[in-house]
Amino acid sequence: MALVDLLDRLLNGGAVLTGDLVLSIAEVDLVHINLRAVIRSITSDEPSPW
């Protein structure tokens, strides 16, 4: 299956555990921001047409 479809689900979906995590909530958010940055960083600069 396409990695992009998988990442949609693994990064935006999935149960989020904010309890007794190794990473604090802030760090979890940071990780997810970095993930999006990864995806953006490998995307082209073509603007959306609308």
Judged by the rule CB under 8 A, the positions of this chain that interact with another protein are 1-17, 19-23, 27, 30-31, 34-35, 38-40, 42-44, 48-50
CB of 36 to another protein, least distance (A): 9
CB of 26 to another protein, least distance (A): 10
Contacts with 31 (C-beta within 8 Å, 6 or more apart), sequence order: 23
CB of 15 to another protein, least distance (A): 4
Neighbours of 34 (CB within 10 A): 11
Q: How far from each other are the two terminal CA atoms of the chain, in whole angstroms?
A: 28
